Amino acid sequence: MKINTDPKKINELLTRGVDEVIVLESLKKKLELGKQLRIKFGVDPTAPDLHIGHAVPLRKLRQFQDMGHQIILLIGDLTATIGDPSGRDATRPILDKPAIKRNMKTYIEQAAKIIDMDKTELRYNSEWYDIPNFTKFIMELTSKITVARVLDRADFQKRLKEDSDIQMQEIFYPLLQGYDSVALKADVELGGVDQKFNLLMGRKIQRKYDQPEQDILTVPLLVGTDGEKKMSKTYGNYIALMDSADEMIGKAMSVPDNLIIEYFELATDVSIDDIEMNKKRLKKGENPRDLKLELAESIVKIYHGKKAGAEARENFLKMFQKKERPDEIKEFDLAGKSIIETLVESKVVSSNSDARRNIEQKGVKLNDKVVEGFDVKVKSGDVIQKGKRFFIKIK
374: pLDDT strictly greater than 50: yes
Percent of the chain at pLDDT above 90?
A: 52
Domain ranges of the chain: 7-219, 245-320, 330-394
Of the candidate ranges 165-169, 206-210, 215-219, 328-332, the one whose mean pLDDT is the lowest: 165-169
> Could you tell me which CATH class the domain 245-320 is placed in?
mainly alpha
> If you average pLDDT over residues 236-251, what whole number do you get?
90
271: pLDDT strictly greater than 90: yes
25: pLDDT strictly greater than 50: yes
Residue 98's pLDDT band (boundaries 50, 70, 90)? confident
- Are 31 and 23 in contact, with CB atoms under 8 Å apart? no
Residue 26's pLDDT band (boundaries 50, 70, 90)? very high
363: pLDDT strictly greater than 80: yes
| Nearest Cα residue to 283 out of 264, 266, 258, 254 | 258
Percent of the chain at pLDDT above 70?
A: 91
Rounded to whole angstroms, what are the CA distances from 76 to 55, 91, 101, 187, 212? 17, 17, 11, 19, 23
Is there a common fold for 7-219 and 245-320? no
Distance (Å, rounded) from C-alpha 98 to C-alpha 48?
Answer: 12
> If you average pLDDT over residues 162-169, what whole number do you get?
68
Rounded to whole angstroms, what are the CA distances from 362 to 365, 371, 388? 8, 7, 12
Query: Domain 330-394 falls in which CATH fold?
Result: 3.10.290
Residue 153's pLDDT band (boundaries 50, 70, 90)? low
What average pLDDT is seen over the chain? Answer: 87
Q: Which helix (H) or strand (E) holds 383?
A: strand 383-386
φ/ψ of 77, rounded to 5, equals -70, -25
Of the candidate ranges 150-154, 191-195, 282-286, 305-309, the one whose mean pLDDT is the lowest: 150-154
Residue 141's pLDDT band (boundaries 50, 70, 90)? confident
199 CB-side CA count, 13 A: 25
267: pLDDT strictly greater than 70: yes
> If you average pLDDT over residues 20-35, what whole number do you get?
95
Who wins on pLDDT, 365 or 146? 365
> If you average pLDDT over residues 48-71, what whole number do you get?
93
Of the candidate ranges 265-274, 305-314, 320-329, the one whose mean pLDDT is the lowest: 320-329
Planar angle of CA 303, 245, 310, nearest 5 degrees: 90
Per-residue model confidence (pLDDT) at position 277: 95
234: pLDDT strictly greater than 80: no
Q: Are strands 364-366 and 38-43 parallel, antiparallel or unpaired?
A: unpaired
Query: CATH second-level architecture of 7-219?
Result: 3-Layer(aba) Sandwich (3.40)
Per-residue model confidence (pLDDT) at position 159: 66
Per-residue model confidence (pLDDT) at position 50: 87
Per-residue model confidence (pLDDT) at position 381: 87
> If you average pLDDT over residues 359-385, what whole number do you get?
89
- Are 181 and 189 in contact, with CB atoms under 8 Å apart? yes
Residue 153's Cα: distance from chain center in Å?
23
Per-residue model confidence (pLDDT) at position 30: 96
Per-residue model confidence (pLDDT) at position 90: 47
